[in-house]
Amino acid sequence: MSLFRTELRRLSKRRFTRYMTLLGLLVLAAVVVGVFFTNQKIDAGQLARAERQADQQYQEQVRWSEQERVACEQAKTAGTATDGRYPDDCSVITPPPREEIKAEWFLPSTFDFKETFDETLIPFAAILALVGFVIGASFVGAEWSTGGMMNLLLWRPKRLTVLLTKLAALLTGILAVTLPAAVLWFAGFWAVANFRGSTEKMTSGVWQSFMLTGVRGVVLVLVLTTIGFALASLGRHTAMALGGVVAVMVVGQFGLGILLSMASVRFAEAWLLPTYALAWMTKTVTLQDWNSCNATYYGECKPATMDITWQQSSVLLSVGVVVILGAALWAMRRRDIS
């Protein structure tokens, strides 16, 4: 039996791997079930009722604005309109246009596959990336801390081959869980849309877009699994990876976020890692600076924006993997094992 197959067997035999995988899949299943029970299919009767409710809402708005306009003019005549309650010109008190009051507001939640499925791929990737990170860290961290790595190196004294084979087995195992899970995720939400929403307007372009988002999600899972593995190998303990990620998130992200916010730094989110993970999944994240005002031709004030693209995220992820895995391989090659 080859080292690769042995490592794959070792991975699948570990209780932690089994429990974490099961936990991750249960959370994903819970999300699908939750979405199923919180959505409804909309029939024509519900739609008509919603239209009627929107009409009623509009009529209420018309009545209310008329009352307010009259009250404004009376206050102005009486000379008591100086408390800032009413505008200078009472004629600006008008009801909203009818089309601004939408019938959907009065409908129960429904799952539109075309509009919503893309968003569900973000928690899918996030949950499996977390599972991959922890399993990856534990897989090699426990080997180091229990002496298993030393035992293995007495049998296979090629250190880099051993570490890279372990990583290859880990990624294969994670992929073996992620791909079927992704298929079930697609199928699950297709079923939710069928029974609790709509699968209309699906074109080949939409499917292609979903597939590409799914592939980026799988890549994110593999990248975070590799980083967890490399960090634990670098510190020769599972806690190194877990502690490292807690430190990065608490100090490097929450702390940094508060600091940047206090310093009123423009586009503070551009310094935070989750922004790049989100951009990787959604292709673009547009950050807005609400302290700035770009006046439009009509006098509207729009904030300055900054786009974080998935290409920028890909550079960050690649550099992260190369640096952390490179350091782990260097340490494996150079450091004594005692």
Partner 1 sequence: MPAVLEIEGLRKTYKSRRRGTRNALDGFDMRVDAGQVHGFLGPNGSGKTTTLRTLLGLIRPDGGRMALLGHEVPDALPTVAGQVGAIVESPQFFPHFTARDTLSLLAGAGEVPAVRVDEVLELVGLRDRSGERVKTYSLGMKQRLAVASALLKNPKLLILDEPANGLDPGGIREMRTLMRTLAESGMTVVLSSHILGEIQLICDSVTIISLGRRVAFGPVDEVLAQHSSGAVRIRLEAVSDLPVATEALTQAGIRVTGHPDHLMLAGVDKPASVTRLLAEKNLYVSELAPIAVDLESVFLELTATAPVPGQHRQVDESMKVGGTGQPGPAGGGWGA
Site string for partner 1, 95-134 (x = CB under 8 A): ----------------------------------------
Is residue 9 a contact point for partner 1 (CB under 8 A)? yes
| Strand boundaries in the chain, DSSP class E | 111-112, 197-198, 284-295, 301-309
Among positions 295-334, residues that touch partner 1 (CB under 8 A) are 334
Residue 74 sits at the vertex; the CA angle it makes with 72 and 77, to the nearest 5 degrees, is: 110
Is residue 160 a contact point for partner 1 (CB under 8 A)? no
Is residue 13 a contact point for partner 1 (CB under 8 A)? yes
Q: Please state the φ and ψ torsions of residue 43, each to the nearest 5 degrees.
A: -105, 175
Is residue 290 a contact point for partner 1 (CB under 8 A)? no
Is residue 2 a contact point for partner 1 (CB under 8 A)? yes
Is residue 337 a contact point for partner 1 (CB under 8 A)? yes
Among positions 15-74, residues that touch partner 1 (CB under 8 A) are 15
Q: Which stretch binds partner 1 (CB under 8 A): 65-73, 119-127, 151-159, 205-213?
A: 151-159
Q: Which is nearer to partner 1, 37 or 330 (CB)?
A: 330
Is residue 151 a contact point for partner 1 (CB under 8 A)? yes
26, 33, 70, 150: which one binds partner 1 (CB under 8 A)? 150
CA distances from 151 to 145, 165, 232, 338 (A): 12, 16, 18, 11
Q: Which is nearer to partner 1, 192 or 328 (CB)?
A: 328
12, 109, 146, 286: which one binds partner 1 (CB under 8 A)? 146
Q: Which stretch binds partner 1 (CB under 8 A): 10-18, 113-121, 249-257, 318-326?
A: 10-18
Is residue 147 a contact point for partner 1 (CB under 8 A)? yes
* Region label for 107, one of left (φ > 0), alpha (ψ between -120 and 50) or beta (otherwise): beta
CA distances from 195 to 37, 38, 41, 184 (A): 10, 12, 6, 16
Q: Which is nearer to partner 1, 150 or 211 (CB)?
A: 150
Alpha helices in 265-309 (DSSP H): 273-282
- The pairing of strands 301-309 and 284-295 is antiparallel
- At residue 303, the 3 state secondary structure works out as strand
Q: Which is nearer to partner 1, 64 or 330 (CB)?
A: 330
Q: Which stretch binds partner 1 (CB under 8 A): 3-11, 127-135, 256-264, 283-291?
A: 3-11
- At residue 287, the 3 state secondary structure works out as strand
**Distance (Å, whole) CA 139 – CA 232:** 9
Distinct helix (H) and strand (E) counts, the chain: 11, 4
Query: Nearest to residue 65, comparing CAs of 92, 46, 84?
Result: 92
**Distance (Å, whole) CA 170 – CA 111:** 35
What is the smallest separation between the CB atom of 36 and partner 1, expressed in angstroms?
37
The residues that touch partner 1, with contacts defined as CB under 8 A, are: 1-3, 5-7, 9-10, 13-15, 142-143, 146-148, 150-158, 334, 336-338
